[in-house]
Structure formats: structure tokens, C-alpha cells
A and B are shown apart, each in its own frame.
Chain A
Amino acid sequence: MSTGAMASNPEMAGAGSLQLTIDGKNVPVQKGKTVLQAALGAGIYIPTLCYDPDLKPYGACRLCVVEIEGMRGAVSSCTTPAADRMVVRTDTATVNLARRVALELILVNHQGDCLTCYKNLNCEIQKVAQYLGITEKDLERLRKGKQIVPPDTSHPAFDRDHNKCILCGRCVQACHEIAAIGAIDLAFRGCATRVSTLGNKPILDSICVSCGECIARCPTGALVPKHYEQPTHRVNTICPYCGVGCSLSLGIRGNGIVDVQGRKGSPVNMGGLCVKGRFGFDFVNHPDRLTMPLIRRAGTKKEIKASGNPGDAFYEAGWEEALDRVVQGMTRTVERLGPDAVGVLSSAKCTNEDNYLLQKFARAVLGTNNVDHCARLCHASTVTAALAAFGEGAMSNSISDIDRADTFFIIGSNTTECHPIIGRNIRRAVRNNKARLIVADPRAIDLSEIADVYLSHLPGTDVALLNGIMRQIVEAGLHDQAFVADRCEDFEPFLRSLDPYDVKKVEEITGISGEKIRQAALLFGRAERAIVFYGMGITQHTTGTDNVKAIANLLMLTGNVGREGTGFAPLRGQNNVQGACDMGALPVFYPGYQRVDDPGAREKFEKGWSKALSEKPGLTVTDMIQAAHAGHLKALFVMGENPMLSEPDLNHAKEAFSKLDLLVVQDIFLTETAQLADVILPATSFAEKDGTFTSTERRVQLVCRAIDPPGVARSDWEIIAEIARRMGYPMDYRSSAQIMEEIARLTPIYGGITHDRLNNYEGLQWPCPDRTHPGTSRLHEGRFSRGRGKFHVVQDKPPAELPTVAYPILLTTGRILEHFHTGSMSHRSRVLEALAADSRVEMNPEDARRLGIEEGDLTSLHSRRGEVQTKVRKSRRVRPGLAFMAFHWGDAPVNRLTITAVDPQAKIPEFKVSSVRAILAVLERAAKDNKFLAALAENPAGALSSFDLTPEHRRALVNGDMASLEKWIGPLEERLKVWLKARLRQENLSEGQSTKI
């Protein structure tokens, strides 16, 4: 164990203060600190190159050496723990010799010119060289290093120039300790030692996740961003990608973002970032940004183009004309068909203030509760179930609890890809704190590799799995009886409901061995402090609400709620999906989960908004689509959402959208949804607006405007306020901060939140009822929000659609690391797009082999609802019969295949289970008008036995004689010939048999 580990050991730290003498000066320092920290704390400069306070002491650069009485030679101060009455000298002949020589050696082996180095003036070597006063003459006496290594330029974001590397090891440590990946390490020996990937392959071919933590810590120009411009100033804000809520510092130059750094003081990411957070912000300055309001040209067809110029259907208009069209359309629909003929889709990407105002617009201006947003598609079931079980729909604890937990159970969450910073924290806890990890996911995730138990259950069997585990826990007597008795209710019926879930039955349903189920149960049952993380693998099911209730049951059963290091952790997908829910962008809730059908609440808001409000719960997103299809909903206002990629059964949804009289889309890009719009309003990106985001851990954080919006684009809330005003309802806010004041007035959980209070590193975690309240990092401490935690009886139910002979493959959908949601932002990031340009369907090699599909083959996927074509990636992450595809691609929208079946309570669609078949695209084309190929395309083998083959035919088939075959069935594409040869071998034909027929 290094001293760093000792330093972070709570028993050592703060146990008292020590007195050192450094260069004759008395220096007090806390126990557990190093000599270097003591010196730096006392203002005594000690040069360093490998030291980084975020990393364990490493002791490689030897510049921080000092002499300490009683110790032999020069010792590295960065690794030596301070001890009482230690006498340290930092400026002796030995120390200076060692330092000077070390630095001279660095300099003569450092290839490249300072003036053309991007690190010039920020280079740490330069700083130390200046301090030591190294001159040209000092270097002349030494032999100049001759070793030149070609730089690794494989990565789209950065180059690795070994010739400037001093092997300080900070990148390696960052990769191991911060990112917990270990894509790089030192390799080779002697002066040939260098930072290398496994097998010294280009970094792009390694397990690197492109988080860039290495670049952020390189003291020299060895890790060079590919496109670097020096920013002129910096602005702090919050990352707009996933729901983790990382704090950012944007480097601004002109009106562009040229650099992104994580903010070290943030309790969320502590300076860390993932690939999207670090490299994914060029979308803000992308030329595709909407700069003017657009109005559909009369007579143009509503269609979605994956290529070409979709903007041709629109003309650029001024705000006046565009807003008039919106107001007229809305007003006419409300007047003609009533307010419920209008729907409003709010946005999990927009600020709390935007969302608040939009739902207020729907309710107070339009008079409808038809307001919803994409939380419906991700965590509606969480909100429903957790409100029922605990009384709050949000994550119960904080991200920081990860460091304090001893056991994690991750189910239905691809954490490292979808919530990279949380994923990395879990990985670190498992690696460094020796925390135990259980992963349950039909598709193996990165973390399953380091899991103590990995359960690869069949999709849609979560309830059975969880009930099975709980039964084992109870059987082993590992449940927390005191917790259950003191704090919960309805335990008995719940307990009885577990009866059917004996190991054997659960084995049958889930496809997991009883032994593993038992292991998982014991591991979780014995945990002192456990957290359950889950994502859309749990929620996006027809049993989504039941799934979440089962998780809630598990946590209550084992007493893992409301304590440090425990918790219920739904991982929210979008940056402000929590906030959008909090703000009441939901059809049954006003802000702060106050029900619209609760007269008291309604009265409060009617008073607050000076308007009578509808008591009728509104339509959910999924309902709105059905209503539009049925012709009941005629106008739709969409703010920052892209349902034309994110909705299930897109063909159906598109039909529904096409039937609308008025579709208004307010966005920053011409999304698939916007392409169907009548009016498009240009809005601002996160970088161009002020406001707040609420992260997955209920943390409300300040978003600050860093640059000016492009063209005449306006903030979402400003546009909404303007429309409201034009519709006769005054919304005269001067700033988003003022909106937050109104939110606080009407929303108890946000009662104490103001923009002023958020101007710090931490923000505030709700509930924060008043202005002096410090926020709540942990819900349900001592008492559940609803009083007693409620056990629910949930039973296993099969998914809505199961594989059949015609659709034999179970398709599940999700995200990948490099892209985000419908990709409108990430596809417009140079680096992200370069890292993952093409859509892929992940298929088990066994399935691929059966279908004659090779890696990278273009393949058609069909479901009962639609078809997409995409390339195949063979992967053992999915079991045979299971396929996985992400929904980020407009040119391969997997949601054409998914099913609209929804959870009856939460109305969330079952994105995770649909049945498809796959066929090689080239074969599909050819088989369309060729019976022979069509027969071959139908597995299993033996299809040809029903064909009346002449001996000549048979010989050609047996020999794979393509020339003859082409004469017979027409010209074949090369790929098809390869396929055909392989396929014919499976037919097991032989010439001998031919005579028999």
C-alpha cells in the first residue's frame, strides 16, 4: 500500500497535528500528510513533475527529493509520510545535484521545440527548469537522446507523442486510479520504457474509453489534443449529456467552446469527465445549428430524410411570422376542439426554468394537462413505483455514497457507458475498496467482468429474478427484521408472495443457475451497506413499475435505504430528466409532484398562476401519439425532444405526427421530429443559456451562459413567455433566476433554492424547503417520505412480445458510450462521430454463423412493425438468440422495430423486448425475386431437399461452382457468393445422392 492510501485512511487523517522542521522553519501538518504536502502547505516550494494531488504518490520524477535527518540519501518527499519532529532540508548540495541532473536528463531526452509545442508556457518542465536555472550550457556537456518514436495519432481527439513523454506516470495513474480502466501502462525496460497499450497497439485499438483523464494530467506536450486553441476565458456550467450532472469549466474563445475541463471542486465528478463531456461539445458551434425560425413551405410532403437537404421544405422566417403561426394554430385548435386537443412535450434537456414555464404554459395558457416529456420513455415507472413505495420518485442517496458502500447490485444499467462517471466510481470502489459487485443484465456490460456474480437473465424476467433473490435472502435469515418492523408496512403479504419463487422456478424463468442466484442473494444479504443501481433495463418494460417495486422491496427487506452507503439509485438518462419531472412536465403532477387531481394542490397553483386549471389528468407521450393517430389530438408543441427517433414503433408514430394540424418544434437542430414540423423555432443550447439542471442525485446546479446564441435563436423560456404573452397571458420574467423564485414559491422541495445559492461547486440537493436549508443528500433517513415504506406484491409476467419462428431473435435496445439519446448533439461532434460512426447491431457469433453473417455485414432487421438495415458486430456480450442495438442513429432507427406495448401504470413502452429476424441485406435483395435463394435464406439447412435438382445443378451446388450457378440464377454480388458457398456446405449435399433423386 502506498502512503497515499495511508493518507486517505480516515483513521490516520485528522488524528492530530505533527511538527516538522523544514529548512529551519517550524511547519505544523496534519498526521497522514506527506513531507511534500507539509512543505507546500507552508509555502516552501519543492519542484515536482509526477506529483498530482488527485493521484497516489508515485515517486518517479525524483525532483521532490529532500534530505531528512536519520534517513539515508535523498528521499522523495512526495512518498514520505511526515513524522513528528522530522528535520527536513530541501536545499542541500545532494538534493540540488540530484534535482539538476534529473531535470537535465529530462531535457536532453526531450525531443521537440518549445515554441511550437502546445504546452509552451503551460509546461511543467519549463517551470522546474526555470526554478533550477538550467542553461543551454548545462545541457551541452550531455549526450542528446537519439531515440525518436513515431507518435500515435490514431485517436480522433488526441495524439500521443512519446518523444515529449517524461514517464511521470500521471496518465497511467489517471487511467488506473481515476478512470479505473487501465488501458495504458508502462511497458518495456530501461530507456526504451514507454507508456503503452496492451501489445503496444494504437490507443484507438485498446480498451481506452477516451475519457481524456490522461491528457488533463500530462505535464508536458506528450498528450496533445488534436485541435487545440488557447481559450481567452472560462465559464463554469453543467454538462448537458447524461444525468450524472458533472460540473464543467468551458474554455471560451470568441464565440466558441475550445476546451472543456472538469471542475475539481465538484462533489459529483471531482474534475473527471467522460468522452462526451470532454470531447463532445463542438455540436454547439456546428453549422447545422438552427439560426432562424423556419416555416414549412406550402404543399411540401412531411417526410424524414436521413440525407440530402431536409431544410428545403422550409423557408426562413422572422420571429413575428413564426410566432404568429404558432399562436394562431394553437388558438384555433383550442377554440375549435378544446384545450385537450393540444399536447405539449417538454424536454429533459432543457433547464428547470424552461420546463416549469412550458408546463405552466400548457396548464395556465392552453388549459390542458397534456404535458409530458421523455421521462415517460425512461423512468416513468421509477416515479410511479418509488412514489408508491417510498413517497419520492427519485434516487434516495448520493453519488458520494458509492465510496461508502460495501456492495453494489447493478441491474439493467450499462453504467460505464450510459453514466460513465458513476460507472467509474463503482469500478474504483470495487478495485480499490474491495467492494463486492453483483451485476444482472441480459447483455454483459463492462462491469460484469469485475463482478463477483454476474447474472445474465433473460430479458423481462427481472421480477422473477428479484423475487427469487429475496426469497433466498429470507431463507438465509439475512433480511433486516428490525428495519422491516420499524419502518415498513405490508410485509406479510409481500413475504407470502415470494413463496412461488423457489430456486427451481426462478432458474426456469430467468435462465440463471440456482447456484448463482444463491450467491447473489448471500452477497447482497450479508452486505452492511448496499446500493442498487438500475437503469432502463428495469424501467422500459411492460412490467417496469413492478420491476422497480421489486427493487424497492429488496432494499427495504435488507434495510438498505436512508443510510450512508446504501440506497435506491435509478440512474436518470438525460441531464435534466429529474428536473423536468420535478418541474411538473408530467400529465398528473404540478411541480414538486403535487397531483393535478388534488384539489388543494390545484387551488394553490390556480392562485399562484391566477388562472383556473383543469382537474383532468393529461395525456402521456404515448397516449398523445395514440390520440393523434386517432385524430383527437390536433396540435403538438415539442420543445427539445426528438420523438421521431425515441418513440417506439416509429412508423406508427410518424403516421400519428403526420395527422397533426400543427406541429411546432423548438430545438437547436433540424431533428427528425423537426423535419415533420410546420413551424420550427430556433432555441439555445446549454452553453447559451442560464438556468438550472437537476441531476440524477437530485442535485440542482447552475447552468451559465458562456457564449451568444447563433443567429436570432432565443432561450426556450423566452420563446415560451413570448408565445404566452401573445396568447394573452403575461409572463414577464426578466431572467431565469426570477422564474426559479416562482418555482421555489410553489414547489416545497425547491422551496429554498435560488440561483444565488447555487453559485458554488455543489449546488443544492432537494428537498431544500427553505433558504437556510443545506439540501438533502439522503432521503428517507429515519423515516420514509411517505411515512412507512410500503412493500408491494409483484408477480412475474412475460414481456408483451416473445420470439417466434418467424421472428426468432429477441432484440433489446439501449445506448453506447460515444453517443447520446437520438444523437442530435453527439453525431455533430467530430470526435464522438469519429469514434462511433456507424450503427451496429450486436449479435452473438453463433447466431451470426447460423445466418452466414460476418462482422460488418449490412443486415436487415425486421419486426412486425418495421425494418432497419445496419451493420453487424459479433459479440459474446449477448447470448445466442439475443441482439442489441442502440437507438442513436437516424439512418438506422431501431425504434421502427420496437413495440408500443406499455406498462399499464407508468405508460412506459417496452423498448427492451421485441422480436425480430435478421437477414444479410445483400441476400434479402437477391432473394426477393429468386425462389432458390429465398429457400436458402430460410433456415434450417436442408431446404434444397425439396428442390428438383438435375445432376448438373447438384454438381454445381456441391462444388460451389458460382459461374454455373450464375447462369442459373442470375448474377450474384461477391458477398453473396461467399455466403452462398458457406450456406451450401450446410445443406450437406453430395453428388452421390443426386442419382437417387
Chain B
Amino acid sequence: MAIGTRPKSAPEKKYTVRICQGPGCALSKSEQIRLAFEVEVKKRGLPEVLVDFTGCHGFCQQGPIVVVEPGDIFYTHVTREDVPDIVNLHLLKGKYVERLFYRDPLTTEPIASYRNIDFYRNQQHLILRNCGHINPETIDDYIVNGGYTALQKVLFQMSPEEVIEEIRHSGLRGRGGAGFPTGQKWEFCRNTPAEKKYMICNADEGDPGAFMDRCTLEGDPHAVLEGMVIAAYAIGAGDGYVYCRAEYPLAIKRLHIATEQARERGFIGEHILGSDFSFSVHVKEGAGAFVCGEETALMASIEGRRGMPNPRPPFPAQSGLWGKPTNINNVKTLASVPVIIEKGAAWYASIGTEKSKGTAVFALAGKIRNSGLVEVPMGTTLREIIYEIGGGVAGGKRFKAVQTGGPSGGCLPASFLDSPVDYETLAKAGSIMGSGGMVVLDEDTCMVDMAKYFLSFTQFESCGKCIPCRWGTRQMLDILEDITNGRGTMQDIDLLIELGGAIKAGSLCGLGQTAPNPVLSTIRYFRDEYVSHIMRAHCPAAVCKGLVKAPCSHACPAGVDVPRYIRRIAEGRYDEALRVIREKIPFPSICGYVCFHPCEDKCRRAQLDEAVAIRALKRFAADHGERKAADQEQRAAPSGKHVAVVGSGPAGLTAAYYLSKRGGHAVTVFEALPVAGGMMRVGIPRYRLPEDVLEREIEGIRAAGVEIRTNSRIDSLHSLRKQGYDAIFLAPGAHAGTRMKVPGEEAPGVIDCVSLLRDVSLGNEVALGQRVAVIGGGNAAIDAARTSLRLGAEKVTILYRRGRDEMPASPEEVREAMQEGVKVDYLVSPVSISRQNGHLAMTSIRMQLGKTDASGRRRPEPLPGSEFTKQFDTIISATGQIPQIPEKMKLWIGIDQGGTLRADPYTSSVSMSGVFAGGDAVSGPASVIEAIAAGRQAAASIDKYLGGKGSINETIALSEDVSSLPKMPEEEGEHYRPRMPVLSPKKRTQEFRLVEQGFSKAAAIAEAQRCLRCDLETE
């Protein structure tokens, strides 16, 4: 039969139903779907319908996938029950089953043909050209699609040298990961004189999460075979092996079928297609050692020896399998070869980048919306792959990093999102292309844990031959183990870098030479996470088991024992619940009302349905629990030391509280304003935090023996010293708004958000007018906008220079603001302000998001010519806050670039002995809970400085008998949190009344019972 023609026996079919039986779909029992189709089609007597199966279609997330042709109609998540519908409607009546269509995630529009789905539209399939479109067990399907024409061309029109030249010109490089130019490799082997040579296809794909080779072999085995025969012809090999891991039984089966069929048709064997060239192919099963992906180990394994690498030189092209010159290529490299021969080197070289030609296949996995198999031209950016094809990070979480190249690769942070994916760029960034694994990591991934995971893999898979790899990776793993259990030291980071360098330099084969990459790249890009584990025993992603009892408590900057007080609420013991909270913070109510609750972000319940409403429960405990006077009697004996605290915000008062109560020191708080409370009083609007709640908690501080002096501005540390204070804690906050750096911002009517909120809090008269613009995207901007509404503004617009996803304000605040009528204008930035006839005219410019900046967010860039001007009565700048440090103090204390005080992050001490600093003045504007944490740290340090032990933790709650707890239900059903009763938006904006009304007892107890008690988890 001539190549390229359809066998006569096959009649034209009206419809072809192709059921994907790639690994993912097969797991979802797609075979049963195929059988169901056959039964159904037979039942209906539809001879013009061909029911067939294919290899992986790539979009595994949507599996099981059924494609009906013509029209490339793409049915997703098909079940057996859907089969009659498809047969009835589509095959019989020509109507589509729309409910099974893929829906655009943004527009939710159903899309019929896969060609119109972003996932596919942004790809270019060369290697996967037939995958998902042909029956991989039928050679005719391959031939009909142009298969084996390249072989014919090569055998009868090209000399081996010409083939090598063509491949060389195409720029094809090894897709196994190292990227060695394929043509050069072939030439090297061709030029080694020998009677016998071997051609090996490396299908020992062992990276966790990688399934590119598997899908290629399962979906289109002939493409690989054809490439192999062409390569064999080029180098002059008479025998070939496909070394495929035994864990791929289907790939092996299809390889056997394919070689058998190819042999029958004369594409392999003696005198191929009647030419002088003979080549036989053997399929060899690997026994599952990762290292056998390494060429020399692979050959040892074929020879029947233990799969261990040998140093090179000699290279396989000189002395390979059984000492004969051998050429080894990856599955994808070989699958690319027929296309190159067919379409020409120039065509192929036109795809990709200067040094990396053609396409690459990636197995997209991890925290990604559209996981699956993806083929794109080289040089496609990570962002295009992850966002445009992959649909972005799953579950609305923040992108953290992408791991390329599997366990030998590295983790790249967001700043690399716009880097093109090619060999050189990735290598420069400290990662590798590898064979094409791409794992997306989100904010809930601990990078130390990630490094540990990949290292434990390489350590386990090390063949054990050379010392650096065998014991070096173990040593690094032991260190990481220590770090993730809070036993690491800062020197360990340097040690990891040193060991990593030595292992890379000293290891025998690629496995060892790349094994440290995940560790080195995470240290390079996420060093702060290592430091956090070491210095604070804190895992920012709340992952590391050795440190994290419950992720909520772990995420809480002050370390409040969340699950314990939630259990107390569930038991109805609200006083006890409150005590548990108060063991870590002196402001349980304030946190209950306004905390930005990082705890809830890590709540494991969210993986089931929705995070437990921890903040609301805390408020409930604070509202309903009684503060017992007896608790205050635990005050420590007087130490005789005096401490001055500058600033009465959450940081200052927290420090004062613990220094007085736990340290027994005499503490005086100096407050410049007439009222105590700092930003809690003058920053947080009353509709979020009522005055009486605040007052009650400040009263509690005073009750602990703290003296608070208002209207007492401190300009000089020396004066405090002279007054006999043994230690000073500076917590003046960040009460000055930053400038927008926009011409005209000095104009009257342009105010800053901090001043506005302060004036409102202090009861000063503020007039804003009707039209208010707020510039900025943080929580302060939202507060300013909502406050403006309450002050009578009719039209409040927030202008933010980036997009919705980049906005730092908490989403629920934004949501509430919008409910109240605030408009948010994204991607806008002010250019100039001028005062014109009593109004402010602000010219703004539209922005677009460009390349990623160091923060991982895309940098907004002005869209030239998009300027527009609008009129406002008031423009509120909410672009940032800085502390106001008296000039005299600056002489003594270091100031950082952003105008903040420089203090040691772990001891809070500043460059002057006996002086400590914390809160917003050090960190820049942050949250109440972070300020409390800063106050706790400062209190401990100061107490130590004054001769105490620095132990500020309180034990005031009764101990808990966890054995008596009621059992958790075996299988938890989905339950969502109760809705927080709130004032209607209309009522809210009229005055500063409290918006949230708090849970009822029944709601609180029910909500408390949703807690999964992670802290009690046993292995």
C-alpha cells in the first residue's frame, strides 16, 4: 500500500467519536465510556459512526475527553451516563450537547471546538501532532496522517550525511533535557568507525509529575519509531532499543504493537521498504530506576548490569552499548525528526528562539487551573504557559514559583514569569529545561519543603555510586529536615550552598550534578523562607509538619492557639475561649473586629468547602466571654526597672502590657496625640471598630499597671534616659502619608488618607464635597473611600494603577466598599492635578500591565495617549504611610530607605543600647496583629535586656483534656460558614455605625464545630 492513502477497506464515516485514553482519562474509566459508546451506537444501528480511542489529548483537567469529528467537537468530563445524550443529540440529530462543552473561565461561554479553547489555541503541536487524533494501535491511522513519508524520503532521496545536515540545520536539540544539538550528536556517532552501532530511544521518563514521553508513546508510537529508523539510517545503526520504564505498561504494549505493525509493513527489519538499509528494534523494559534515564546507566541496564552511570569520556558515540558506538535520543527528539524531514529544516528553524528551535512539550501540573500536556514553541514565556494556556493558579491563590525540569530543575519566582522558556534562559536562572516537567507552586507551598521533597526524591534515586551524590544529597536532606523542624542554624544556609556547589562540581553523572538545583534555586529566590524557618521556627506557608501544629495558629503572627479557643466556643465555654486568646494577645476584641486574619487563609477546612470564620469567632468570644479580675492578679513582682514606651498603638501597648504584667517593670507610655490607641484609634474607622470596644481594651492595659501619658510627644531619647528609664521602646507608628509625586498635589483639596482618618477619628470637622477620588489600592484606600461616603460624598472613585488581581486590599473590604457604592477604576494612574474653578481637575492615564517586577507583580506601564481628565472635589492620596521620626532621633537610630526605623528583626533592638523599636515605624504600615506580634517580640527582648527571662507567654486558660472531646464525624460533608449579619449598605453609609453585627450563639457554636482540629492530628 502506498504511503499516505487511506486503506480501501475503511469506508468513510460520517462521525468519528474519539475517546481519550491517556493516563488521566483512563483513570477516570474512559474505557467504559468507549464501551458505552459502542453499545449505544450498535443499539441505534449507526454504521456511519466510528468509535475509536486515542492517546492523551493533553487537557487532562477536563477529562474524560470525547472528541467528535468532524468539527473537533470537544466534550469534557464525560461520564457513561452522558453517552446516550451524545449519541442521541449529536450523532443522530446533529445537535451538540452543550452542557458538556468547555466553558471559558472568564466569560463562562461554552466553546464547542477545542481549536477555540485558549488551552489549545495557544499551543503548537508538532511532537504531539497526532496525539489525541489517531488510534495509536493502528498503523494506518498514522500513515493516513502522513506517517512514514519522511522515512521514505530519507531512504530514497537522501544520504545519511544529508539527513544529518538537515537535522543540524533545523537546530533540533535533545529534548531529554540537556539540549545537546541532535545533528551534532548524530554526526559524532556516524563518524566513529565501527562494524556495529546502536540506536537507542530513551523512554525512561522518571521525573515525578512528568508524562510527556509516556503520552507521546501511548498516543503516537509510530512517530517515535519513524524518528528512530531515520536516526539509525543517519548514524548507520543496525539495531535499536527503546528503553521504556516498566511503569508504563501501556506505552510498552503500544510499542510492541507498533514495532510489529511497522515490521509487517516493512518500515523496520531487513531491507526497509526494499532499500539496502536494515534496522531492527527491540523494546527493553527498565526496572524503575530514575538514574537509568542517564545514558551510560541506561546502557548498563540494557546490558543486564546494575544501572549505574560511568564517567564520560568515552562518550556513548565512541563506546556505548556493549562497547559499540551508540546514539541515544529522547522520545520527543525522535518524534520531532519526521516532521523536520517532511517540512524541512528551515521551516522548523523558524519556530522558537535563536538558540532553541522548535517546540517543547511540558507536563503542566501543580497548583494550576488547567493541568495537562502542553506543547509550545520554544521561547514562549512562562506567563503565557501558566496563565494563557494553564489558566493561572488554581483556587484564587497567589502564584509563588514554578519548578521546571523536575527534581533536577529549579524553582523560579514570579519575577521570571516573563522569561522565555528555552535552554539558556532557564539555565541562567538556575533551573533547567529538563525533560519538560513544569510544576506551578502557589502561596501555600513552602519552598523549603519543596526543596526537601525533590531532594528526597533524588536522594532515594541516587544510584549510590559516587560519594557527593550518595551522601551529599543525604547530608543536604538532613539539613533541610532540621530546618523544617526548627533545628536549623543560619550557617546551615551557607553549608547548603557549599554542599550544593560541591555536589554539582563533584558528582559523576547528571543526577548528582543537578540534584542540588531545587535547594540552590530556592535559597537564591526564597531565602527569606529559609530564614523564617530557622530564626522564627515559622513556616510562612504553614506546611512544615515539624513546625506547624495547626496552620491557623502558625499563620497568626502572634501565635494565638486558634483551634483550642474554637473548641472552647463549641463547648459553650466562652470565658475559657477568651482566656485562650488572651494568652497571646492583650486585644482580643480589637482583633476580633478588625484583624485581617491570615489564619483563615491557611485554614485546611478551605480545601473541603470554606475556611472557618476564625476572626468572627474570636470577636464572638471577646463579646461573650467575661474577663475575670483574677486573671490580672498574676502580675509579676516589681523588678525595679523603668521602661518608656513611645507610642500607644498596638505595638506599644502590647509591649507595655507584657513588660508590666509579666516582667514586673514600671512602664510609662508616651502618646503624642490626645488619645491612646494609635492607629487603632485614629486609623481604623469607627464602623469597623467601635470606640467602647477599643476603650475597654486599653483600660485592660492600664489595669495591668501601665501608665499612659497622652499629649506627650517625645523628641529626644536623651531626655528619656535622663528621666531614669532603663529601656526605651519606640513604637510611634507610621502616621504620615506619602506623596504621590504628581504635579499639583499640593493643591488645596488634595489630602492624604492618614490625616483624613485621623481627623475623623478625633472628631475634627472635615468637608470633602461630592466627588471624591482615592488614589491607591490598599486597605487604607478602602477605609478612606468608605469614610468619604459616610461623610456625605456622593461619588467616590478609587483609582488604582494595577489590576484587580494585584490589589493588596483585602477582598472582603473591597467587596463591602463596592456594595456601598464605591467605584474602583483599575489600571489608572494620576498624571497631574490642578485646581480649576473650585474643583480639582485630575488628569490620569490608563495603564497596561507589562513585565513582571521584582515583587512578582506585573509592572504597570502607561498607555501612551490614553490621558483623560476628570473633576473632583477632593482627592485623597492613599499611596503609603511613613513614620515621623524627630530629626534628633534619626542621628542616633538608623533609618531605612523607606523612612522606617532600622531594628533587628529578631530582637527589635536598634543601634543604640537599651533602645528597641517595633510596629509600623519599623515595618511600614501593616496590621494590628503584626503590630501586636512586634510588641510581643520587643517585650521579650526588653525583659531579657533588663535581666529577665524574656518569657512573656501567659497561662491563664485551664488545661484541655483532648481525650474527652467528642469525635469528629468520619466523613465530613460540605458545610459553609454562617453569614455574618451586617447592616444594609444603605444604613451603613449614613453614619459610622458598626457594620458587622456578630454571630449569634447558635451560629458561633455551629461554626466552631466546623474546625477540623488540625492541632490534634496524629500521624
A interface with B by C-beta (< 8 Å):
1-3, 5-6, 57, 59-62, 65, 73-76, 79-81, 94, 97-102, 105-106, 108-109, 141-143, 145, 166-167, 169, 185-194
Contact = CB atoms under 8 A, between A and B. Distances in A.
A697 to B, nearest CB: 31
A191 B471 contact: yes
A3 B464 CA distance: 21
26 contacts: A1-B319, A2-B310, A2-B314, A57-B311, A59-B466, A60-B508, A61-B467, A62-B507, A80-B311, A80-B313, A81-B314, A98-B502, A100-B502, A101-B472, A102-B506, A106-B467, A106-B471, A109-B474, A167-B464, A167-B465, A169-B465, A186-B465, A189-B461, A190-B460, A191-B470, A193-B462
Nearest to A78: B311
Contacts of A192: 464
Contacts of A61: 466-467
B418 interface: no
Contacts of B289: 189
B495 interface: yes
B513 interface: yes
A186 B300 CA distance: 13
Contacts of A57: 311
Contacts of A73: 504-505, 513
Interface string B287-323: 0010100000000000000101011011000010001
Contacts of B462: 189-191, 193
B645 to A, nearest CB: 41
Nearest to A96: B502
B505 A105 contact: no
A141 B499 CA distance: 11
B462 to A, nearest CB: 5
Given A59-B508, A98-B502, A167-B470, A143 B479 contact: yes
Contacts of B72: none
Interface in B465-507: 465-468, 470-475, 478-479, 482, 491, 495, 498-499, 501-507
Interface residues of B, number: 42
Nearest to A187: B306
A250 B462 CA distance: 42
B466 A62 contact: yes
Contact of B470 (A5, A100, A193): A193
Nearest to A63: B467
A185 B308 CA distance: 11
Contact of A105 (B472, B491, B501): B472
B286 to A, nearest CB: 14
B811 to A, nearest CB: 44
B54 interface: no
B431 interface: no
Contacts of A3: 313-314
B130 interface: no
B508 A190 contact: no
Contacts of A80: 311, 313
B660 interface: no
A102, A108, A109, A166 interface centre (most CB from chain B within 10 Å): A102
Contacts of A109: 471, 474
Given A190-B474, A191-B470, A62 B306 contact: no
Nearest to A108: B475
Nearest to B291: A189
A2 to B, nearest CB: 6
A65 B474 CA distance: 21
Contacts of B465: 60, 167, 169, 186, 193
B461 A190 contact: yes
A292 to B, nearest CB: 57
Nearest to A168: B467
Contacts of B507: 62
A608 B994 CA distance: 134
B306 A102 contact: no
Nearest to A105: B471
A194 B491 CA distance: 31
B200 interface: no
Contacts of A166: 467
Nearest to A166: B467
A191 B466 contact: no
Interface in B439-474: 459-468, 470-474
A101 B468 contact: yes
Contacts of B506: 62, 65, 74, 97-99, 101-102
A76 B314 CA distance: 12
Interface in B499-530: 499, 501-508, 513
A169 B472 CA distance: 18
Contacts of B498: 97, 101
B323 A190 contact: no
A189 B310 contact: no
A407 to B, nearest CB: 21
B302 to A, nearest CB: 14
B308 to A, nearest CB: 7
Contacts of B479: 143
Given A94-B505, A97-B505, A191-B474, A1 B467 contact: no
Contact of B464 (A1, A59, A193): A193
Closest 5 CB pairs of A and B: A193-B464, A98-B506, A101-B502, A1-B323, A59-B311
B495 A190 contact: no
Nearest to A141: B495
Nearest to A167: B464
Nearest to A62: B506
B464 A189 contact: yes
A105 B311 contact: no
Contacts of B460: 189-190
Contacts of A102: 467-468, 472, 502, 506
B311 A79 contact: yes
Given A61-B466, A73-B513, A79-B311, A101 B503 contact: yes
A189 B306 CA distance: 11
A106 B462 CA distance: 16
A85 B482 CA distance: 48
Given A59-B508, A101-B472, A143 B482 contact: yes
Interface string B736-764: 00000000000000000000000000000
A108 B314 CA distance: 33
A145 B314 contact: no
A191 B464 contact: yes
Contact of B505 (A74, A185, A187): A74
Given A143-B478, A191-B464, A97 B314 contact: no
Contacts of B508: 59-60, 62, 76
Contact of A60 (B306, B314, B461, B466): B466
B313, B459, B473 interface centre (most CB from chain A within 10 Å): B313
Given A3-B314, A62-B507, A105 B468 contact: yes
A100 B308 CA distance: 24
A59, A94, A185 interface centre (most CB from chain B within 10 Å): A59
Nearest to A75: B311
Contacts of A189: 289, 291, 460-464
B311 A141 contact: no
Nearest to B312: A79
A417 B508 CA distance: 38
Contacts of B323: 1, 5
Contacts of A5: 323
Contacts of B472: 101-102, 105
A669 to B, nearest CB: 46
Nearest to A94: B505
A101 B311 CA distance: 19
B515 to A, nearest CB: 11
Interface in B540-579: none
Given A101-B468, A186-B464, A189-B461, 11 more contacts: A2-B314, A3-B313, A76-B508, A101-B506, A105-B467, A105-B471, A145-B471, A166-B467, A189-B291, A190-B459, A191-B464
A99 B471 CA distance: 13
B651 to A, nearest CB: 37
